[in-house]
Structure 1
Amino acid sequence: MDTERHPSSRNIVAILSRGDAVARRDATPQNSRFVCVFEALAAVGVEARPVIYDESVSDTVRDQLLSVDGVLVWVDPIHQGKTRAELDALLRDVAARGPWVSAHPDVILKMGVKEVLYQTRHLGWGTDTHRYDSAAAFRAEFPSRLKASGPRVLKQNRGNGGQGIWKVELPTSADGIVRVLHAQRGSLPEDMPIENLFARCEPYFGWGGCIIDQAYQPRLPDGMIRCYMSGAKVAGFGHQLIKALIPPPPEGPDAPAAQPGPRIMHGPDAPPFQALRRSMENEWTPRMMETLGIDEGSLPVIWDADFLYGPRNATGGDTYVLCEINASSCFPIPDEAPAAIARTVKHRLRRAQKVRAG
């Protein structure tokens, strides 16, 4: 990539993802898994360039990002043992020098972590939720809560792919024994002393800073609804029969019955999800922004809110419980979402140009 600063009238963004030296060498818009986003941006007159990140080439990546107007980031919080710690510092530096970054690391720390479940528990998407800020608080408070309220779900603050998410319940009357099931694919239920669970979870207070504790949702087998957002507007939905935190059948975790179903994508106008859309656009997202101190222009160009079905209401209708927000690396996405991303990017670029022009 040409790292010389281009004229301000040109609209150029970088699409940043993680990869190795081969991926950096061969990266083109056409062979990228984000090709649909490249095409949608081109359709609205925005040039997008692929940038492949690794900690070993951070200085080169910084130069590349400083040569564009904006940066769209698709990097998981944890990937093959690597976190985003160094990347987030780089992105903060780039954003401070001019290009806008989506999602900005500071915005991710507000909304794209499990702590948001605790901070927004008062919204209509909330449920019985608690936060443990230290291993000592976790040891002191969790056992009595588990005994009093039934199965719980523990979540490390930052993670993806089910890493650090545990269903915990009391299997028998045996004192000090808990049954746990990790959300990662292939996991099996384990009975263990609760002290072993404390030991497994203690590292989460390092990288993530806290553990979030939610009530288990019995309607989990009905599936998860992923509400895709571009800025403050719904860009589509995905519905999937998930298997995480559901014990596998007797045939084992590799059996066909233990595998999650396909995620069925829908556009933003899909009839089954219009009540959820109204809640997201008209109530929950604005109240989340107010609670967390996020302005609309800082919302990620693509993010999603994952919902489980909560208890049915008095009329038999569905309610929804937020189980996480993904703001670091939201992909794949519905067919309608790339165009929504492109519209949001175009709007952000125009706003940034007006700010620079005074």
Structure 2
Amino acid sequence: MRVSVLQSIVIFEVEGGSDKFIDGHRRDTMPIVAALRAQGWNTEVLYYRPEWTEDLHDYVTANFSGYISRVNPGNIPGGEKGYFDLLTRLAEAGLVGMSTPAEMMAYGAKDALVKLNDTDLVPADTAAYYDVPSFRDTFPASLSYGERVLKQNRGSTGSGIWRVQLVDKELAAQIAPGTPLPLDTELKCTEAVDNHTEILQLGEFMDFCEQYIIGDNGMLVDMRFMPRIVEGEIRILLVGPHPVFVVHKKPAEGGDNFSATLFSGAKYTYDKPSAWQELVDMFAEARPVIAEKLGGDDIPLIWTADFMLDTAGDGSDTYVLGEINCSCVGFTSELDMGIQELVAREAIARVNARAGVPVA
């Protein structure tokens, strides 16, 4: 018996990359496939290549009613523009996109923080540099306010996220806020991917960072360093609107370590949402504001919100949003929690809702 197009979802991947297992797929892709098939839905995994774009478009529009993107933008051959154009065309053809490029850019781009810097979620002095001149004009003065964190837009697992501080602590204490620092000022720069540290002059570091700004969707976000990151980053993982679990990611101890990635030695503790109910409730309450600021309430299929602890004026704990991820959130370590089944049910519900199928 042929499965109808209505009950067909395609999963996109790209070939290669450090996120692949021995079968050539992400470790969490085939569990999603199995979960969808267990629900009686047809699914295939297709690889994107730029030269296959038209064939992919024609085949997918003829055979599927939704897609799930499991592609790390940094691994896309030829850059993300061609792939994003294909996904946009598929959504325009009527497929349910999970997630669409518009959703990825609205929620997942690092400058989402800048769009929220007039809320209680993000420090007001969070800024973004979209071109090299503005970066060179502004960043030397930004450092006069204290330690900063620079975040590239394209990175993952801490790549291109730098903690930047002055080597000369006396200078850091004496310089008047708003004073541009000389280009020969020595900086201690620590990258989140592995907590390695480099001593560079300000001019050298800005030369290096130009690579993050140049190119499609290039930008750098400049954010205040949050000292309590050493107590851990708190990540809420959601499937659609549903919080699934909260992971407390504590950086490796010692030195200038601040990275909360497994690659850097951070230790992860997985909790039920109820263990962080105050944070989960705060995020749920803030979500309409987030949607308004970011341009829409089309919630990604699989996404995360990362928070850091801060201290309010009265000494109580508060939470600062560090970033939202939704382009290709992995959950390999959590497959035993049944997240793949939740993903399958949410994806099916979205396709059925578009088709007007009544909820069972």
What's the TM-score, normalizing by structure 1?
0.82
**C-alpha spacing 1:102/1:312, structure 2 compared with 1 (3 Å):** same
Match of 1:151 in 2: 147
User: What is the aligned residue count?
Assistant: 333
Task: Give yes or no for contact 2:308–2:321 (8 Å, CA) kept in 1.
Answer: yes
Q: Does 1:37 align with 2:37?
A: no
Match of 2:75 in 1: 79
Secondary structure of 2:327's match?
coil
2:115 to 115, 119, 128: 119
Q: Deviations over 1:230-260 (max 9, x none)?
A: 22331222221235996369xxx9xxx9942
Distance 1:88 1:209 in 2: 15
| Cα displacement (A) at 1:33 | 3.1
Distance 1:77 1:245 in 2: 32
Secondary structure of 1:203's match?
helix
Task: Give yes or no for contact 1:308–1:323 (8 Å, CA) kept in 2.
Answer: yes
Secondary structure of 1:72's match?
strand
Match of 1:292 in 2: 294
**C-alpha spacing 1:314/1:115, structure 2 compared with 1 (3 Å):** same
| Cα displacement (A) at 1:84 | 2.0
Letter in 2 for 1:339: E
Task: Give yes or no for contact 1:156–1:165 (8 Å, CA) kept in 2.
Answer: yes
How do 1:196-345 residues align onto structure 2 when only pairs under 5 Å count?
Answer: 196-207=204-215, 208-243=217-252, 247=256, 259-269=264-274, 271=275, 273-281=276-284, 283-295=285-297, 298-311=298-311, 314=314, 316=316, 318-332=317-331, 334=334, 335-345=337-347
| Cα displacement (A) at 1:327 | 0.8
Task: Give yes or no for contact 2:237–2:303 (8 Å, CA) kept in 1.
Answer: yes
Distance 1:213 1:346 in 2: 39
| Cα displacement (A) at 1:288 | 0.7
Distance 2:273 2:60 in 1: 32
- 219-228 or 336-345, which moves further after superposition? 336-345
Secondary structure of 1:131's match?
strand
Q: Deviations over 1:150-207 (max 9, x none)?
A: 1001112232122221111111149532324242534532222211122111222223
| Cα displacement (A) at 1:326 | 0.9
Distance 1:18 1:196 in 2: 35
**C-alpha spacing 1:338/1:244, structure 2 compared with 1 (3 Å):** farther
Match of 1:192 in 2: 200
Runs ≥4 in structure 1, deviation > 4 angstroms? 25-28, 243-246
Letter in 2 for 1:286: P
Q: Deviations over 1:68-110 (max 9, x none)?
A: 1111111112138863222111111211112111110111111
- 225-234 or 43-52, which moves further after superposition? 43-52
Distance 1:352 1:247 in 2: 49
| Cα displacement (A) at 1:146 | 1.0
| Cα displacement (A) at 1:228 | 1.0
Distance 1:248 1:279 in 2: 28
Secondary structure of 1:300's match?
coil
Task: Give yes or no for contact 2:164–2:190 (8 Å, CA) kept in 1.
Answer: no
Task: Give yes or no for contact 2:50–2:78 (8 Å, CA) kept in 1.
Answer: no
Match of 1:346 in 2: 348
2:126 to 124, 129, 134: 129
Letter in 1 for 2:41: V
Secondary structure of 1:310's match?
strand
**Any stretches of 5+ residues in structure 1 without a counterpart?**
none
Task: Give yes or no for contact 1:306–1:325 (8 Å, CA) kept in 2.
Answer: yes
**C-alpha spacing 1:64/1:100, structure 2 compared with 1 (3 Å):** same
Distance 1:200 1:245 in 2: 26
**C-alpha spacing 1:177/1:80, structure 2 compared with 1 (3 Å):** farther
Distance 1:245 1:68 in 2: 51
Match of 2:177 in 1: none
Q: What is the CA RMSD across the aligned residues, in angstroms? A: 3.3
**Any stretches of 5+ residues in structure 2 without a counterpart?**
172-180
Q: Deviations over 1:12-34 (max 9, x none)?
A: 111222225xx9x9679xx9532
